[in-house]
Structure formats: structure tokens, C-alpha cells
Structure 1
Amino acid sequence: MTVNEFLAWIEGREGRWELFEGELVEKRPERPAHTETKRRTAAALKGAIRRVGAACHVTKDGSIVRISESTAFEPDAVIYSGERAERDTVEVPAPTVVVEVLSEGTEARDRGPKLAGYFSLPSVAHYLILDPEQRTVEHRWRGAGGRIEREALTDGPLRLDPPGLAFFVEELFAPV
């Protein structure tokens, strides 16, 4: 299946799906820690955008990022810059920041094919992998010479530049 066929196929369909190398992958139901982390992350990103007045937007749940003609992922949150996408658009144009929240059984995909796939897109500057159980953020970003850098954070400030956003890691997770 191609991404264009996939986008037509998911229209109005129940459940959450991704396409990996032409094959459909159904996403598992989420646990409360996962959904709460997604909600708090979207709120933290929106707050950071508001504080600096950045010309970017946050999407979550249901936004598709096209990696290739046969692969499309549905991240847990995405920031993209420029004009706001049309209301009925599912595909996110030129993502800058991509967020995945680890769930049972997703770690290998999130740190393997998704990491490589997201950074194959020239627009992606940051990839955040959140672990709601360990309350950690693995921050990957495009460094000097295109090298992918990595840091693991459990607290304190996190800066995403571009697009020039800053927030505290603690904002991403429910209070203990």
C-alpha cells in the first residue's frame, strides 16, 4: 500500500493506524499514563509557543507524518511551522518537532524505524521520546553537520531551537 492509498483507507475508519513499508500497523489502545502524558505534552508545547509568539502549531492524535511513499507514522504530538494546516487535513506539512510516548511494545519501533524515519525528513529538527513510567525524555536533535545528538532528561529546562521554544521536563508528566 502507498501512503496515498493509506490516507484514503483510514478516512472514517475506527482505530489508529500507521503504514510501515507498505504494511498496515494497528496501534494498540493506550493506558492512562500514556494519554495523560500526551495531553500534558501538548499543553506544554502550546504554552511554550504562546510565550514566545512562535509561528508554529501543535497537533496530536490523528496527525500523519509521511516518511516515504510506503511509510507514514502517527506521532503522539507534532509541531510544524508556517500557515495552519486546513481543518480536514490529516497529513502534517514539514514537521519540526515530533513526539512519541512509549507504550508497551513500542520502544524498539520508536527508537529504531521511527527515529531513522523522522530524521530522514529535512524539516525535523527534534524528536522527543517520552517514557511515562520512568518519567524521562530522550531528546534527539539535528546537530552540527547533520549529526543526530542525544540527551536524556528527567527534570529541568528543555530547549527546542528551532523553533525557539523552552519548557520544563516536569510539565510533560503528571505530578507524582
Structure 2
Amino acid sequence: MMGHALRQPGFSLEDFLAWEETQPERHEYLHGETFAMVGARRVHNLVAGNLYMVFRQHLRGTPCAVLMETMKLRVADDALFYPDVFVTCDRQDLRTEREFTAPTLIAEVLSPSTEAYDRGQKFAQYRRLPSLREYVLVSPETREVLLFRRDSAHGLFTLHDFSTAPALECASIGCTVPLVDVFEGIDPLPDEPSAEMPPSGA
């Protein structure tokens, strides 16, 4: 989750990487500016963890890796991010320990402070990645689940809204994720039925 800018344009990516090694917190980098990562809320971590676990279990035994927000994703020489969850099947990525460059799927969990950025400027940067096939946005607050899928013929991303569907269909990795698994552990919305056990003798 990105915070306010700490440095102004002109800070090179190499300078940023060297500087961040000395910092206790993580930062993202875009067009010479450095942004502190703000702390995530409980629901954010739960949804990101749910996606990670489902993807990892599905891809177990395949030449793909599922990574979380502590891993750097380098888009280009002017952009570096920490996606909430991403999947890579690239051979070079599977050998690296520091910066990943060829994700197949990226998922971001939305929050009020970063939603506009994740939908807009960050997605614009992610679209620069030729390897990217799908981009997933999940809102714990509204239960919105959106997937942008790249058309293989024209390279354009098409929106698929799974918010009211029974499951999220991630075609790029052949994974179907029931929405109940995406939001497991999250308190129900006011108009949703409670999952509590009925009273004894009911």
C-alpha cells in the first residue's frame, strides 16, 4: 500500500535500490519518486493471504511460483512495486532472489487510500509488462472482484466482473477460486447471512 512521496523526480532506480537496502520500511518507486508503504489492515492481509494460499495450492508441482508483497516487481527502469500477490512462471524469475520482471498474474487488494492508484496509475504501469495476462482487483469492503484479461490477438485488457459470480476464474493459471474462499475470515456485509452456528437444539 503506497503512501506519500518521499523524494522528488531525479532519484534513479539504482540509487533507490541502494537507499532502500538501508531502510527499515519498504518503498515503491515510480518516475524518480519514492513512496513509503503504509501498514495494511487486517482485512487486507486476510484477503491477500487467502489468494496466495489458493494459488499456491493450485500451482503446487508446476514450474510457477506464487509470491507476496515482500517481493519486488520491476516494471522498467522507472518503476518498481510490491504487488500484494503475483504469479510468475518465467525461468529467469524462478532463479532470482531479489527483483522479478515477468509476472503472469498480479492481484491487488484495494483499500480506501490506494484504490484509485491501484485502478489507475499502477495498472497503467503493469500493462507495460509483456508477460502479464491478468490483473485482479479485490475490495474487502464492497466484495467487488474484478479481473482484467489481456486479449492474445490485440494485447488489450478486457474487464470481467466476478463480484456476483460464485467464483473468480483466473484463466492465465487455470485456477477457479470460490469467492467464499477469497473472503474467508472477513466479517459479512450487513445484508449477508451470518455463518454462525445455530443454537443448540435448533
TM-score by length of 1: 0.88
Give how far 1:49 is off: 1.2
Give the match's secondary structure for 1:145.
coil
Equivalent residue number for residue 128 of structure 1: 136
Alignment root-mean-square deviation, CA: 1.7
Q: What aligned pairs does 1:65-84 form with structure 2 within 5 A after superposition?
A: 65-83=73-91, 84=94
Task: Provide Cα deviations, 1:52-98, integer angstroms capped at 9, x if missing partner.
Answer: x4321101021111122121111101100044334xx2211311111
Q: Which amino acid aligns with 1:20?
A: L
Equivalent residue number for residue 149 of structure 2: 141
Higher alpha-carbon Rg:
2
Equivalent residue number for residue 44 of structure 1: 54
Give the match's secondary structure for 1:62.
coil
The 1-side partners of 2:22 and 2:47 are apart by 26
- Length, aligned pairs only: 172
Q: Which of residues 151, 159, 172 in structure 1 aligns to 2:169?
A: 159
Q: What aligned pairs does 1:3-14 form with structure 2 within 5 A after superposition?
A: 3-14=13-24
- After superposing on structure 2, the runs of 4+ consecutive aligned residues of structure 1 that deviate more than 6 Å are none
Mean Cα deviation higher: 101-110 or 160-169: 160-169
The 2-side partners of 1:133 and 1:40 are apart by 16
Give how far 1:12 is off: 4.9
TM-score by length of 2: 0.78
The gaps in structure 2 that reach 5 residues or longer are: 1-10, 189-202
Equivalent residue number for residue 180 of structure 2: 170
Mean Cα deviation higher: 157-166 or 95-104: 157-166
Does residue 63 of structure 2 align to residue 55 of structure 1?
A: yes
Does the 8 Å CA contact 2:70/2:82 hold for their aligned counterparts? yes
Q: What aligned pairs does 1:110-121 form with structure 2 within 5 A after superposition?
A: 110-121=118-129
Q: Which of residues 19, 23, 44 in structure 1 aligns to 2:29?
A: 19
Q: Which amino acid aligns with 1:159?
A: E
Give the 3 Å change call, closer, same or farther, for CA 82–121 of structure 1 in structure 2. closer
The 2-side partners of 1:41 and 1:172 are apart by 6
The 1-side partners of 2:157 and 2:90 are apart by 24
Give how far 1:160 is off: 2.2
